[in-house]
């Protein structure tokens, strides 16, 4: 089934509700890395150019009801700065006060709604929230790739109530993942990191038959090492996943999985903990693995650089802490140097590329973590499926 894109939607003189994914990190109440906001600007600018008045909805963090610390206000301000258009912030997500803000703002001002997750019915796709959002506009554009794998009132709910289309960012994301899935070029190398093996195992299962090599670092590699019978000290291990991990590793494609040969271990899980490099197969008791080691980077880098297709998701270590950043930066540099088609997803992987100033050298920087994983697993994304009725 096909979905409609921005060009298919008549928007001149219309009120268009754009569901963006402006879920950015906040540092002391201000926007940290604004990558997702930057990526959302072109759709809004295009709609304005075509004569639409724009209302923007996004979630921010995981509030449990109203939480002033997770207001979209700083996000709205940054959106206006980056987009170069006037912005006002609405005091709520739906309801009369929001409708009044939109009426008062007039057609030239972009209205950014309050955090959609302040409404309890957002994450359950409650009809009350979907109706309230649909009442604000006459058209709907979904540009929130990062949320496309979830069924929410502001994505799936509104799309069944207003003529809808995919925004420019969503379209670019789908094109990139489609290319990754369909292009025959080889070697095809996938690099996986991050913390939660439960989130990555489905992808491992789905992609192992397709790829030439799968390089695994980050917290997830310790459950794989434990499944292989190695001691991993106090490193992150999801014991409940060990049998399933074993079945993947012992399967016919298990030999394609490459684990780091060395890791950086620390005396405790702390930014300033004393640390050293040890072989991954000899992690001392009482230590915790927080990054892949230099030999692992040296082994991973040429594989990534020489690949013709690369997908990377998840940091190689606790990237937030400077002492455990080198592995992720090494992989980022290799992905940037790769001559193949490169797609990178997940907040920290993208942040690592931006930090080393090599973001421009990646073919597609994805705004989605879980949504990209779901697409590559072959899952239908509810946010996309909801657009099909207008296709
Ligand atoms: P994910 O959302 O699954 O991609 O996980 C990202 C998180 O994984 C980041 O916050 C990292 O700090 C964390 N992480 C990466 N390596 C490790 C590790 N060795 N131990 C614990 N957490 C890790």
Q: Is 347 a catalytic residue?
A: yes
CA of 323 to the centre of ligand 1 (A): 14
Query: Is the CB of 270 inside a 6 Å radius of any atom of ligand 1?
Result: no
Decide if pLDDT at 279 tops 80: yes
Q: Is 256 a catalytic residue?
A: no
Q: Reduce the DSSP state of residue 283 to 3 states and report it.
A: coil
Domain 175-376 has CATH 3.40.50.1260: yes
Ligand 1, atom nearest to 217 Cα:
16
Burial degree of 36 (CB within 10 A; 0-12, 13-18, 19+): buried
Query: Is the CB of 289 inside a 6 Å radius of any atom of ligand 1?
Result: yes
Tokens of 74: 């700083």
State residue 3's pLDDT score: 96
Nearest CA to ligand 1 atom 17: 219
Q: CA-CA distance, 327 to 298, in Å (whole number)? A: 10
Decide if pLDDT at 21 tops 80: yes
Decide if pLDDT at 189 tops 80: yes
Q: Give me the mean pLDDT over the 209-232 stretch.
A: 97
Query: Is the CB of 83 inside a 6 Å radius of any atom of ligand 1?
Result: no
Nearest CA to ligand 1 atom 4: 194
Decide if pLDDT at 253 tops 70: yes
Q: CA-CA distance, 125 to 20, in Å (whole number)? A: 17
Segments of 267-332 assigned E as strands = 275-279, 288-292, 309-313
Decide if pLDDT at 1 tops 70: no
Q: What whole-number percentage of the chain has pLDDT above 70?
A: 100
Nearest CA to ligand 1 atom 21: 219
CA of 320 to the centre of ligand 1 (A): 9
Cα distance between the two ends of the chain:
8
- pTM for the full model? 0.94
Q: Give me the mean pLDDT over the 320-338 stretch.
A: 96
Burial degree of 360 (CB within 10 A; 0-12, 13-18, 19+): exposed
Q: Is 370 a catalytic residue?
A: yes
Q: CA-CA distance, 68 to 74, in Å (whole number)? A: 11
Query: Is the CB of 194 inside a 6 Å radius of any atom of ligand 1?
Result: yes
Q: Is 200 a catalytic residue?
A: no
110-162: pLDDT as tens digits = 999 999 999 999 999 999 999 999 999 999 999 999 999 999 999 999 999 99
Q: How many CA atoms lie within 13 A of 96 on its CB side?
A: 0
| Contact criterion met (CB below 8 Å) for 346 and 196 | no
State residue 75's pLDDT score: 98
State residue 346's pLDDT score: 85
Instruction: Produce one character per residue of 234-266: b if its CB has 16 or more CB atoms within 10 Å, e if not.
Output: bbbbbeebbebbbebbeeebeebbbbbbbbbbb
Ligand 1 site-directed mutation target among 190, 194, 259, most atoms within 8 Å of CB: 194
Decide if pLDDT at 383 tops 80: yes
- Would you list the domain boundaries of the chain? 6-168, 175-376
**Does 6-168 match 175-376 in CATH topology?**
yes
State residue 123's pLDDT score: 97
- What fold, for 6-168? Rossmann fold (3.40.50)
Closest of 292, 270, 324 to residue 220, by C-alpha: 292
Nearest CA to ligand 1 atom 11: 318
State residue 347's pLDDT score: 84
Decide if pLDDT at 170 tops 90: yes
Ligand 1, atom nearest to 218 Cα:
16
Per annotation, catalytic residue among 73, 179, 196, 246 = 196
Determine what percent of the chain falls in helix, strand and coil, rounding each to the nearest 5: 40, 15, 40
CA of 214 to the centre of ligand 1 (A): 18
């Amino acid at each position: 089934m096909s979905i409609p894109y921005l060009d298919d939607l008549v928007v001149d003189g219309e009120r268009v509700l754009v569901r963006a994914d402006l879920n950015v990190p906040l540092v002391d109440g201000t926007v940290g890395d604004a990558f997702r906001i930057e990526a959302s600007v072109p759709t809004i600018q295009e709609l304005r150019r075509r004569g639409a008045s724009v209302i923007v909805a996004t979630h921010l963090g995981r509030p449990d009801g109203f939480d002033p610390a997770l207001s979209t206000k700083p996000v709205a301000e940054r959106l206006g700065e980056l987009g170069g258009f006037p912005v006002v912030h609405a005091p709520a997500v739906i309801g009369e006060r929001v409708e009044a803000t939109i009426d008062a703002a007039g057609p030239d001002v972009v209205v950014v709604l309050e955090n959609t997750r302040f409404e309890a019915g957002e994450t359950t796709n409650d009809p009350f929230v979907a109706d309230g959002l649909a009442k604000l506009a006459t058209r709907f554009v979904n540009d929130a790739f990062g949320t496309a794998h979830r069924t929410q009132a502001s994505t799936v709910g509104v799309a069944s109530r207003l003529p809808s289309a995919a925004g420019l960012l969503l379209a670019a994301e789908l094109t990139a993942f489609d290319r990754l899935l369909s292009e025959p070029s080889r070697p095809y190398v996938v690099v996986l990191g991050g913390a939660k093996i439960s989130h990555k195992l489905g992808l491992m299962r789905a992609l192992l038959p397709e790829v030439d090599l799968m390089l695994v670092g980050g917290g997830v590699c310790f459950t794989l090492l434990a499944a292989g019978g190695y001691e991993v000290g106090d490193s992150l291990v999801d014991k409940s996943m060990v049998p399933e991990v074993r079945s993947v590793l012992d399967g016919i494609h298990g030999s394609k999985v490459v684990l780091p040969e060395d890791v950086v271990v620390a005396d405790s899980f702390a930014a300033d903990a004393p640390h050293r490099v040890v072989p991954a197969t000899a992690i001392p008791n009482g230590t915790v693995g927080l990054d892949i080691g230099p030999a692992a980077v040296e082994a991973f880098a040429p594989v990534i650089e020489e690949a013709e297709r690369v997908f990377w998701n998840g940091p190689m270590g606790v990237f937030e802490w400077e002492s455990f950043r080198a592995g992720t930066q090494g992989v980022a540099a290799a992905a940037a140097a790769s001559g193949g088609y490169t797609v990178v997803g997940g907040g920290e992987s993208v942040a690592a590329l931006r930090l080393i100033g090599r973001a421009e050298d990646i073919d597609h920087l994805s705004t989605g973590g879980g949504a990209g994983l779901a697409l590559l697993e072959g899952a239908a994304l509810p946010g996309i499926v909801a657009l099909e009725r207008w296709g």
